[in-house]
Amino acid sequence: MPVKPVLYGAKGCGSAVVEAAFTLLGEGYGYVEAEPWTPSPAVDALRAVNPLVQIPTLRLPDGTVMTESVAILLWLLERHPGALAPAPGDPLRPTFLRWLVYLPAAIYPMYTVGDFCDRWVPGADAQAALKQATIDRTLACWQAMEAALKPQPGGWVLGTPDWTVLDLYICMMTHWRPRRQAIAAVAPGIVTVARKVEADPRLAGFWQRHFGAGYDDP
């Protein structure tokens, strides 16, 4: 029986924030690169544990399978009280939970739809229109988050003394369509937070490995 959890993930994908948390918390894990849209034995193995064939997917040593990025993050945080999150009872905890769930609940589905428009509607024109609608909605979501949280220059997104997994998630997700330059036009403070995360030496090299050398802009 494996002694460490095994993470199914892919470069530049939603598994990156889970890897970042594992790394920062000093937890060991195995890793299987399984890009869902590229057929491979690893993707067959992923499909066997997650019929949606999505990453991140985590298989625990007892065989339990976890999907959903934020469920995995919260499970990890439970094992390290006080790390990477405002503690239960902290006045910032409800705000932290709200926005941590908002990212995969409000924004991530825009990629589930926009990356595979042919799953949802037939015809090139309808697919192009649908993709644009997901981009517009993504920007509206970032704008709403910025307006609610008003990230302060030089600070983490919630104004916490140190970063939380919310900052890490923002860093990852702002690399995705329509990417930093467009997101900065509606949510400049959010993008400033993302860049602050990348400049932090605790994950030196990590973001570049996922998003490449010219990864910041556009």
Ligand X SMILES: N[C@@H](CCC(=O)N[C@@H](CS)C(=O)NCC(=O)O)C(=O)O
Q: In whole angstroms, what is the distance from residue 12 CA to residue 36 CA?
A: 12
Q: In whole angstroms, what is the distance from residue 199 CA to residue 215 CA?
A: 13
Cα–Cα distances in angstroms (integers) from residue 126 to residues 6, 63, 116, 117, in the given order: 39, 42, 12, 9
Asked if 138 is part of the footprint of ligand X (rule: CB under 6 A), the reply reads no
Asked if 36 is part of the footprint of ligand X (rule: CB under 6 A), the reply reads yes
The only residue of 104, 114, 151, 189 in contact with ligand X, by rule CB under 6 A: 104
Segment 2 to 21, residues that bind ligand X, using CB under 6 A: 13-14
Asked if 38 is part of the footprint of ligand X (rule: CB under 6 A), the reply reads no
Q: How many C-beta atoms surround the C-beta of residue 63 within 10 A?
A: 9
- Binding residues for ligand X, how many (CB under 6 A)? 12
Q: Which residue has the tokens 């990212």?
A: 103
**Torsion angles phi and psi, residue 57, rounded to 5:** -130, 135
Between 113 and 182, name the residue whose CB sits nearer to ligand X: 113
Between 35 and 198, name the residue whose CB sits nearer to ligand X: 35
CA 107 to chain CA mean position, Å = 10
Between 100 and 139, name the residue whose CB sits nearer to ligand X: 100
The only residue of 19, 20, 43, 68 in contact with ligand X, by rule CB under 6 A: 68
Asked if 134 is part of the footprint of ligand X (rule: CB under 6 A), the reply reads no
